[in-house]
Structure 1
Amino acid sequence: MNSEPAPSPARPLRADARRNRERVLAAAREAFGSEGISVPLDEIARRAGVGAGTVHRHFPTKEALLEAIVVGNMTELTEEARSRLEHPDPGAAFFGFFALMVECGAGNRALTGALTRAGTDVQSLVERPGQDLLAALAALLVRAQQAGAVRGDVTAQHVKALLIGVYAGSDWLGGETDARRRLLAVVCDGLRP
């Protein structure tokens, strides 16, 4: 018999604490996106309109803040993919989401790179949100294939590999948005029947 007490479930945040946390995350996303990850936590607190202590209570380290952003971004992408399952044009829903993943992923890669350099096990961090995102992508893909908008011999894993290829190719071409968009157009053409 185990003599350790059962862990108590985390209490949900009060409404004001939840709003402050969301303001900090929004300010951090904007700051990191426009200026890079070197923006200090105190500056993020200022931009969020909260005290430094509020930031540190929710995110004791910059890595904790980066982790929350990365997981949050993946969760938002998953929700977006699921919402596109109701789109009347499955092909447009799939290709629009693929383009969104390319754009959003470019920013997320800088955050995951920083976490990796800080010693975070990014693979473990994103395992569950990554599985959810891949499942939502697969559902969009199947709908688009059933509508004849995407070739039938492609799996969600292939699409993920193509996404990684767009990032790598864009980096090789200098990381410019134009290069990423050109590569995206070529990949999308290749996915069509």
Structure 2
Amino acid sequence: MDTSKPMRADARRNYERLLVEAKRAFAARGVEASLEDIARQAGVGIGTLYRHFPTREALLETLLRERFDAQAAAGREQLARAEPLVALKTWLAGLSASSADYRGLSEFLAAALDDETSPLYASCHAMQEVASQLVEHAKAAGELRGDVTAQEVLLLLHAVSWAGEHSPGGGGLPRLLDLVFEGLRAS
């Protein structure tokens, strides 16, 4: 969406309604929710949705931008913790929890890490930068295996998030994250 000029009042209302309905639809049906249904629930045509958000990823990026900014800030705060591995795990648990709000989101985010054309690419790389700092901090403290990379940790997190989405009851995420960290811990 072109933000260089102000939106007309009706266009702004449509934009806001689309975001509200997309948030509801993605929370209820996952990131593959029908864009046509989102437009219909917002009281606009599909063309209006695409005028504001040319792709599903652009719509997701708009919904997630504030959350990602907050998550990046939380990661930078975790760097000051005395226990770097706990800081990394705490940050990843928060990231995983926020990714779990929309079923299927972890797959979109994992794919966006390698797709420079994705509207989610910049946000995903901001998360990767914070993860890099936390991983390096834990490695320097001797708490994390020296051969682990931030990208590997994020991919493991996406795998754990996916598994958490598909586990009976969905309550296995903390346990799965604990198991991953047992394997990542320095001997």
Please report the TM-score for the alignment, with normalisation by the length of structure 1. 0.62
Question: Structure 1 vs Structure 2: percent identity of aligned residues?
Answer: 29
**1:81-125, CA deviations, whole angstroms, 9 ceiling, x for partnerless residues?**
2232233443322110111222222345535768xxxxxxx9322
* Corresponding residue pairs, total: 170
Give the Cα separation in 1 of the matches to 2:38 and 2:182: 42
1:154 to 139, 142, 148: 148
User: Which residue of structure 2 aligns with residue 181 of structure 1?
Assistant: 174
Give the Cα separation in 2 of the matches to 1:164 and 1:176: 18
Is the 2:99–2:105 contact (alpha carbons within 8 Å) kept by the matching residues of 1? Answer: no
- Deviation, 1:42, is 5.6
User: Which residue of structure 2 aligns with residue 40 of structure 1?
Assistant: 38
- Deviation, 1:25, is 4.2
- Deviation, 1:189, is 1.8
User: Which residue of structure 1 aligns with residue 138 of structure 2?
Assistant: 144
Matches within 5 A, 1:130-141: 130-141=124-135
**1:52-78, CA deviations, whole angstroms, 9 ceiling, x for partnerless residues?**
69x959835783433422455444432
Give the Cα separation in 1 of the matches to 2:144 and 2:5: 42
* 3-state SS in 2 of match to 1:11: coil
User: Which residue of structure 2 aligns with residue 190 of structure 1?
Assistant: 183
What 5-or-longer segments of structure 2 have no aligned partner? Answer: 109-113
User: Which residue of structure 1 aligns with residue 52 of structure 2?
Assistant: 59
Q: Structure 1 residue runs of 4+, over 6 Å off?
A: 20-24
Is the 1:81–1:97 contact (alpha carbons within 8 Å) kept by the matching residues of 2? Answer: yes
User: Which residue of structure 1 aligns with residue 111 of structure 2?
Assistant: none
Give the Cα separation in 1 of the matches to 2:131 and 2:6: 31
Check 1:136–1:113 CA distance in 2 against 1; reply closer, same or farther (3 A cut). closer
What 5-or-longer segments of structure 1 have no aligned partner? Answer: 1-8, 46-50, 115-121
Matches within 5 A, 1:84-163: 84-108=78-102, 110-111=104-105, 123=115, 124-125=117-118, 126-163=120-157
Is the 2:88–2:134 contact (alpha carbons within 8 Å) kept by the matching residues of 1? Answer: yes
